[in-house]
Amino acid sequence: QVQLVESGGGLVQPGGSLTLSCAASGSILRVYVMGWYRQAPGKQRELVATIGDGGSINYADSVKGRFTISRDNARNTVYLQMNSLKPEDTAVYYCGMTIYRHYWGQGTQVTVSS
């Protein structure tokens, strides 16, 4: 059974930074795509960034130039470095990984507020 565990959320002031981590555990041969998604109150879940096992990266326009996604294949871990955070970045952030099927983490709250 595969489990994803996220960490690193919290409260930060506008302009601040946070780093999220998500580690997959279980019987894993290969993780094809790792990604981060977010869901703000009253809104649908949206893609933030994805990274393929070949290194291809995709960002939502709203985070380009501010967020950086990276992965550690040896640890089955994906990271999201978030800089210049804005109040509109406030959401529950979920990691997702495509392994045998798509798996989701439990979510971690990110709140950007003064």
Strand-pair category, 108-112 with 10-12: parallel
Reported as a single tens digit per residue, the pLDDT across 29-67 is 888 999 999 999 999 999 999 999 998 999 999 999 999
Write the burial class of residue 42 (CB in 10 Å: 0-12 exposed, 13-18 middle, 19+ buried): exposed
What pLDDT digit, counting tens, does each position of 67-94 carry? 999 999 999 999 999 999 999 999 999 9
The DSSP string of 35-90 is EEEEE-TTS--EEEEEEETT--EEE-GGGTTTEEEEEEGGGTEEEEEE-S--GGG-
